[in-house]
A and B are shown apart, each in its own frame.
Chain A
């Protein structure tokens, strides 16, 4: 069974840093793109970043570019999101999502984790 479990969330002051982790199981982690998506309280979904299967390339949304870093450790079947210079508006539930549904041209997100809550507040 495909499963991803996020951890590492918590309360952090504005300007602080936090690193989220995502432990994957039930699929060959090194073969799939992975992404982070967040959802602010009562709001919609916002894609943040994606990383290639071998970790050789990443792409970011404008709201986090230069502040957040996505990386992975395929030996540990784990995905990470390092978050620096955190702002109040970064408060959200952060989801890890594998691009587990592969088509010829695109890979679609499914089997998301349950999320890790990050609260940025003084």
Chain B
């Protein structure tokens, strides 16, 4: 199985900060990576797919990059509504797997 390791697991930041979350895969995943945002009590929402494609309706302050085994999600200027937990997911092979999550909280 492909393991995904997210770092950090917890992040404290201020409005306006640039935030970067990393997702490392235990083997190459051919860029088949998605990023989700989950707010408390809500279902996860797709932000990014194929590592760097912004899902329709997602603000442009979100971006994804990476290849091989290392991927990043960047929020260029953190907004109040961005405080949430973020997950990566690989779709290179079954079983599909998620990273452990990164909780972004207000400093």
Contact = CB atoms under 8 A, between A and B. Distances in A.
A103 interface: yes
B98 A44 contact: yes
Contacts of B53: 103
A95 B52 CA distance: 25
A95 to B, nearest CB: 6
Nearest to A96: B43
A110 B46 contact: yes
Query: For this complex, into which size category does the number of interface residues on chain B fall?
Result: 20 to 34
A109 interface: yes
A19 interface: no
Interface string A47-88: 100100000000111100000000000000000000000000
Interface residues of A, number: 23
Contacts of B45: 110, 112
B32 A106 contact: yes
A101 B46 contact: yes
Contact of A106 (B46, B50, B95, B98): B50
Contact of B49 (A44, A95, A108): A108
B13 interface: no
Interface of B: 1, 32, 34, 36, 38, 42-46, 49-50, 53, 55, 87, 89, 91, 94-101
